Structure formats: C-alpha cells, structure tokens
Amino acid sequence: MEQGLLVTIFLPVALGVIMLGMGMTLTLDDFKRIVKFPKAAIIGLVSQLIILPLLGFGLAGLLFDTPELAVGFILIALCPGGATSNIISHLAKADLALSVTLTAISSTVTNFTIPILLNVALFNYLGGEQAIQLPIIKTFIQIFGVTILPVSIGMLIKRKYPTFALNSQKTMNIISSTFFIVILLAAILKERANLIPYFQEAGVAAILLNLSSLFVGYQLAKVFSLSLRQRTAISIETGIQNGTLAVTLALSPTILNNSQMAIPGAIYGLLMFLTAAVMIAYYKGKNAREIELQHQ
C-alpha cells in the first residue's frame, strides 16, 4: 500500500484537470442558489458528518472482533469524500455545485472531527487514548489546490469564453470517464496480491457500509423532497469516502502507524468504485432528463 508515482504526481494533476473541466460547466449562480436555499447542503452535511460516522461505529461493533480492524473501519466512515466524489457526481449528472460545496465544507470540518472521533474509537477498542492531530493548514491547501482552485478557474473560463467552455464539455466528459476507469484499474492492479485476504477481513463490512451510506444519503434527501440531482449528489457524497486519506492516516508513522488499520480503507476505496459505476450508469440518464425539463 505504498504511495507510488500514480498517487503522488499523476492523481493530483489529473484531478486538477478534471475539476477545471467541471468548473467550466458551473456558474456563480449555481452556488448562489445553494446559499439562498441551503436545505440541500445542510441535509448533505448531516448525512455525511453525523449519520455516516454513526453507521461506522454501529457496524464496527457488530462485525469486527479485531480491535485494529474496527478502528480502521470507523476511520473510513470519518473521512470526507474528496475530489473523487465530485468526479462521480459529474459523470452521474448529479448536482455538481452541491457536490463541490459539500466536499469543500466536509473536508474542512473533518480536520477537527477525525481526531476527536478517532480518539473515541481508539479509547473504546484499544483501551487507551492515542491523541492524534491532522495538519490542518496542509490539508486545506491540498483541498484548495485540487478542488476549489481548478473549479474556480474553470468557472472563470466559462464566464470569459462561454463558447469554448460549451464546446469543451464533450471532450472533458470523455477525459473524466477515462480517468475514472484508469483509477479503478490502477486500484485493482495495486492491491491485486492483497485482494482476497483484504476482502476476507473487511470486505463484507465495507460493502455494507458503502451500500447503507449510499441508501441513507439518498433516502434522507428524498424525505426532505430534494430534486433527483440533489438526492444523487448527497448519496454519492455520503457513500464515496476518501480511502487514500484513511490508508495514509493508518500507515503514517506519526499518526496511527498500524498496517492492520489500513485494510478497511484499502478495500473500501476499491469497492466504492464498483458501486459508483453502477450509480453512474443508473442515474446519468435520469438526471439528464431532469436537466432537460428544467431548461424547457
């Protein structure tokens, strides 16, 4: 599970390019609507920052006998979605402005919630408190550089050169789809030797967490009568977690330094791409029809 060239160089650059392309599909009015009508954002944050951790703690207590695996499983439920959730929302034609907003807010808030709740998990399962801290400034800079900055540049391009932005959408969609496939294949190849033992240790729990969080996020948004595109975005933001962050925190010599705790994050980070592919295939057409109706 060592970070190689793919993670350290290719992924950040590719994510930045994709986020720039997404920005060229957005306008400032998309975000103004979220501020003016914040219900969707509030529901999304409740789903991701409150309900998802509760699911993580609950399933860990039911499914794991090994304390280290339980802590690692809870850790993945505490992580934000990251730019990957934005790409999946984009491909599924969900509410991208809502997705980007939720990612930006949750990625900032989890700098504070992860140390608190992870310490609770460590105390509960390992019988002692191991205080951890996240590099808040460094994390914010990474979020800004990979998500907020390229999206802002893309929006500026659309504002200054609307014809170019419109003509580029098809190309950027192809790039986004290709990138998604590359990530999936790279994840499979990287962990191919560990797939069977990882799945045996944490596979069932990871699938249950992934499917239940996708379902709860969608149903919660549906209860509050949000649009299909908003429901899809909230479902994705709740069910697509930053597996790379979970693995990094687990393996970091200065934070957890425990390879067993990295297993749930690694297997979840792989399995979520499979369910995401199903969501993209299922919701893309439905959300596209909703967009067409909105413009009629």
Q: Which domains does the chain have, with CATH numbers?
A: 5-294 (1.20.1530.20)
pLDDT of residue 217: 95
pLDDT of residue 1: 44
For 140-146, which contacts have Cβ atoms below 8 Å and span 24 or more sequence positions?
140/108, 140/111, 143/103, 143/104, 143/107, 143/108, 145/12, 145/16, 146/12, 146/15, 146/16, 146/19, 146/83
pLDDT of residue 176: 67
Distance CA 295, CA 291 (A): 6
The more confidently predicted of residues 154 and 180 is 154
Confidence check: pLDDT of 3 > 60: no
pLDDT of residue 44: 94
pLDDT of residue 2: 45
Q: Which of 101-110, 151-160, 246-255 is least confident? A: 246-255
pLDDT of residue 31: 79
pLDDT of residue 293: 77
pLDDT of residue 39: 94
- pLDDT tier at 4, thresholds 50, 70, 90: low
Instruction: Report the share of the chain in percent with pLDDT over 70.
Output: 81
Instruction: Report the share of the chain in percent with pLDDT over 90.
Output: 27
CB 164 within 8 A of CB 34: no
Confidence check: pLDDT of 263 > 80: yes
Q: 116-160 pLDDT, tens per residue?
A: 888 888 888 887 655 565 566 766 676 677 667 888 888 898 888
pLDDT of residue 161: 84
Q: 182-201 pLDDT, tens per residue?
A: 665 665 666 566 667 777 88
**Mean pLDDT across 29-53:** 88
- pLDDT tier at 50, thresholds 50, 70, 90: very high
pLDDT of residue 211: 95
